Amino acid sequence: MVSAVLYGRMFWREGVLADTMHTEQQAAEIADARTRSAATIRPTVPALEAMLFHAFPILDHGFVRVIDYMGDDSAIVQAARVSYGRGTKRVQEDAGLIRYLMRHRHTTPFEMCEIKFHVKLPIFVARQWIRHRTASVNEYSARYSIMDKEFYIPSAEQLAAQSVINRQGRGDVLEGEEAADVLHLLRDDAERCYAHYASMLNEGEGADPNRQGLARELARMNLTLNTYTQWYWKTNLHNLFHFLSLRADTHAQYEIRVYADEMMRMTEAWVPVAAAAFRDYRLGAVTLSAQMIAVVKRMLAGEPVTQENSGLNRREWVEFSAQILE
């Protein structure tokens, strides 16, 4: 559960539940945290220090911000070089070593850096995100507190039909009356379900003193998946790179990709050398199978290769063509 002191308090305003994230008191607490400082001899990163506690908006009501971090590019180098032992006489530039580690998938040096994010996101995005199990997560508790009345409603350009070639993707954008009907349904369902949720709770201003409210842990099951939740998400740099390699990819779902894109920007401020190596060797790279490499060699030798004589199945050939031939 996110700290009830700073992020979990709820209050009633004009009959609507609201989170203190939007109050002057909350802003004052954040401003106070940013003005406090302590002397330290551990490495710090000025570019990331400047971002600490700032909430960068995502989607319509979401945000992501850095709460804390440990380590920097030099921590990766230090961890890698200690494994060589004292007897080594080989000296490499830090950037060259980091790029070598990334290129050859040496993971443990990157695990020496850690970062903690505070994220506000729709529940359906959180359920996709939580599949990345190599992190420590504390989510806002709807058993303890009352959920805010905030829902994700897509912008018109994000309303798309189901793709006919990708079961996990989107096709053509909906337009006109069809798009308007979808937006109406999303808003109407979210508003109606939240109204029923608040009624079942029977708490706050307007509550019926003669009626007992339903337990919060039960009432929450009526909320729609576009309701916003919050959590702290702490991970090391190696696992963050794995998250970003999947979620900052152009094929990732838009609603999680926008969070990953912002987190990538923060990562570039935090560990710029490692982030550049990640972009070159992971995010902007492709993986070829042994059969695909054999096909490339045959093509370079001047041999005409088709899907039928390539040794690749149809799906592999399509992926290969998209990566190499187009």
pLDDT digits (tens, 9 = 90+) for 165-182: 666 666 677 888 888 999
Tokens of 265: 């920007």
Are 140 and 281 contained in the same domain?
A: yes
Give domain status of residue 32, yes or no. Answer: yes
Q: Are residues 99 and 236 in the same domain?
A: yes
Does residue 1 form part of some domain? no
Asked whether residue 241 is domain-assigned, the answer is yes
Length of the chain: 326
In-domain check, residue 163? yes
Give me the helix-helix angle, 237-247 and 254-270, nearest 10°.
Answer: 140
Same domain, 181 and 193: yes
In a domain, 117, yes or no: yes
Structural domain includes residue 14: yes
| Residues 55, 178 within the same domain | no
Q: How far apart are CA 69 and CA 47, in angstroms?
A: 12
68 with 140, same domain: the answer is yes
Handedness of CA 230, 236, 242, 244 (dihedral sign): positive
Stretches where the chain sits below pLDDT 70 are 1-26, 83-92, 163-171
CA torsion angle 115 120 121 123 (round to 10): 100
Q: What is the CATH number of the domain that holds 45?
A: 3.30.1360.170
Q: At what angle do helices 73-82 and 94-103 cross, to 10 degrees?
A: 80
Domain end call among 210, 225, 240: 225
Same domain for 180 and 76, yes or no, is: no
Both 123 and 199 in one domain: the answer is no
Single-letter amino acid code for the residue at 20: T
220 in active site:
no
Say which residue the tokens 């696992």 belong to: 239
Residues 97 and 204 in one domain: no
Question: Domain range for residue 217?
Answer: 153-225
* Among 114, 153, 124, 118, residue whose Cα is nearest residue 139: 118
Burial environment of residue 304 by CB neighbours within 10 A (0 to 12, 13 to 18, 19 or more): exposed
The last residue of a domain, from among 195, 225, 255: 225
Cα torsion 254, 259, 264, 269 to 10°: value is: 150
Separation CA 120–CA 133 (nearest Å): 18
CB-CB contact of 104 with 53 (8 Å): no
Predicted pLDDT at 8? 36
Question: pLDDT per residue over 15-51, tens digit each?
Answer: 333 344 445 666 777 777 777 777 788 889 999 999 9
Amino acid 192 reads R
The pLDDT value recorded for residue 262 is 98
Is the residue at 4 inside a domain? no
How many domains does the chain divide into? 3
Check whether residue 96 and residue 17 sit in a common domain: yes
In-domain check, residue 2: no
- Cα 126 to Cα 50, 183, 232: the distances in Å are 27, 21, 12
Q: Are 305 and 256 within one domain?
A: no
State whether 111 and 246 are in the same domain: yes
- At 225, list the tokens: 């998946």
How far is 172 from 162, CA to CA, in rounded Å? 8
Tell whether 101 and 233 lie within a shared domain: yes
Q: Single out the residue in 207, 225, 243 at which a domain terminates.
A: 225
Separation between Cα atoms, residue 278 and residue 264, nearest integer Å: 10
| 18, β-bridge pairs | 11
Note the pLDDT of residue 19.
40
- Out of 99, 216, 220, 247, pick the active-site residue: 247
In the numeric block, which tokens belong to residue 325?
A: 């031939």
The DSSP code for 103 is: H
Say how many C-beta atoms besides its own lie within 10 A of residue 91's C-beta.
7
Cα distances from 325 to residues 207, 296, 317, in angstroms, run: 65, 10, 10
